[in-house]
A = this chain, B = another copy of it.
């Protein structure tokens, strides 16, 4: 079952060196989630051959422009394209007013089935909870209210063994219940325990998206066992003072956090315009946590 993230933007506030502001498209079993929507996101989606029309959920971390200035354009485009699926938008409460003001000025007749869900910015909150995933927000510590997001897969179904099923005469219509853990009772009353018919499923996977923030310790319980952690690493440790002043994280600090929580892999991004070459950021993080990669626009990273 696909679970991956495609990076669309990697710059911090000042776009430079042909990098674009923050945006990521997560594909979970062909349900598409957009995290942040910096200016140019709709063009980046096109550039990398990703269908804008497939997006079902959009999450905005905070209201600094490099995280949402592409949203009005993307929504206008989806509206023009007569996007028919419901579109769920999660973001800071003030986002709704911003969008309404803009749509009103352009006399836009929104045909989109758009549902705005204000995110509580001061406490953890479950935003999506369906059969496949739970998605929740966690308050981060930035210059303005900002949240991180975690996409946690639900326990996956048990892996059905068709050979064993055939052997015990399991009819097709019984398989779904077996995958969910039921035993099978044969017509003569013999009970075939589930463990003879299935294997343990792969463990559920988790993705965390943490930007923009000071490095935090108080969400460690949520980050332990995360398969892929995207964490901003705006600065090198030699600019730690600047990072602290602007409420950002260094590559070293992101790596320490990844190591402490034993995440599967770390993806860093939100690079300052200071750095043309990103290798020093990567090397700094890898010196602490080897399973680090640089977020690169257009690249897709497996989760788990």
Contact = CB atoms under 8 A, between A and B. Distances in A.
Interface of A: 13-16, 18, 20-21, 39-40, 42-43, 46-47, 63-66, 69-70, 72-73, 76-77, 80-81, 92, 94-95, 97-98, 101-102, 105-107, 143-144
B14 A81 contact: yes
Contacts of A43: 15, 20, 39-40
A15 B41 CA distance: 11
12 contacts: A13-B76, A14-B80, A21-B73, A39-B42, A39-B70, A39-B73, A63-B106, A64-B106, A65-B106, A101-B101, A106-B144, A107-B143
Nearest to A71: B69
By Cβ-Cβ distance, the 4 closest A-B pairs, closest first, are A63-B105, A39-B73, A40-B40, A94-B105
Given A13-B76, A95-B105, 18 more contacts: A14-B81, A15-B77, A21-B73, A39-B42, A63-B105, A64-B106, A65-B102, A65-B106, A69-B72, A92-B105, A94-B105, A97-B101, A98-B101, A98-B102, A101-B101, A106-B144, A107-B143, A107-B144
A80 to B, nearest CB: 5
- Most chain B Cβ neighbours within 10 Å, of A77, A81, A95: A77
Nearest to A14: B80
Oligomeric state, in number of copies?
2
Contacts of A65: 72-73, 76, 102, 106
Nearest to A104: B94
Nearest to A21: B73
Q: Which of A72, A97, A106 has the most CB of B within 10 A?
A: A106
Contacts of A69: 39, 69, 72-73, 76
A164 to B, nearest CB: 52
A95 B46 CA distance: 28
